[in-house]
Amino acid sequence: MDEALCTYIRNDRPFLGICLGLQLLFEYSEENGPVKGLGLIPGVVGRFNSSNGFRVPHIGSNVLQIAKDSEILDEIGDHHVHFVHSYRAIPSDDNKEWVSSTCNYGYDFIASIRTGNVLGVQFHPEKSGGKIFCAFNVGLSVLRRFLHPSSRGTKVIACLDVRTNDKGDLVVTKGDQYDVREQTKENEVRPRRSFIAIIS
Catalogue the active-site residues. Answer: 19, 124, 126
Measured distance CA(142)–CA(9) in Å, rounded:
20
Please say whether the beta carbons of 174 and 160 come within 8 A: no
| Distance between CA atoms of residues 21 and 123, nearest Å | 11
Contact 85, 45 (CB under 8 A): no
